[in-house]
Amino acid sequence: QMSLIQHRNADYFVEWIPNNVQTAVCNVPPTGLEMSATFIGNTTSIQELFKRVSDQFTAMFRRKAFLHWYTGEGMDEFEFTEAESNLNDLVSEYQQYQEATVCEAE
């Protein structure tokens, strides 16, 4: 059923994100239901969540909120800045793909 839906809506899926939809059907559904399913889609809209997380992290890291708990366990502040950089790179990559899709549509 999911492949039929994906095929019908093929215009909304880009070719350069392979396997961007995964489905799973559970053979043992919750009580009272015939079937249980999970749908996971990889879309550029996830960048909004990543941006929010990055903004919240930046605000807390600037104040060094809770940082002592992590450095006390052996983490270095550099690990946090590296993680922030990786997250920002991920957001940039999703933005690039989103802009490529918009340009192709025009």
Instruction: Say whether both 52 and 90 belong to one domain.
Output: yes
Length of the chain, please?
Answer: 106
Instruction: Say whether both 28 and 7 belong to one domain.
Output: yes
DSSP code for 30: P
pTM more than 0.75 = no
Q: Could you tell me the residue range of the domain that residue 77 belongs to?
A: 43-106
pLDDT tens-digit map of 38-81: 777 777 888 999 999 999 999 999 999 999 999 999 999 999 99
Q: What is the pLDDT of residue 5?
A: 75
Instruction: Say whether both 54 and 99 belong to one domain.
Output: yes
Number of domains in the chain: 2
Instruction: Say whether both 57 and 106 belong to one domain.
Output: yes
Is 57 within 8 Å of 91 (Cβ atoms)? no
Q: What is the pLDDT of residue 91?
A: 94
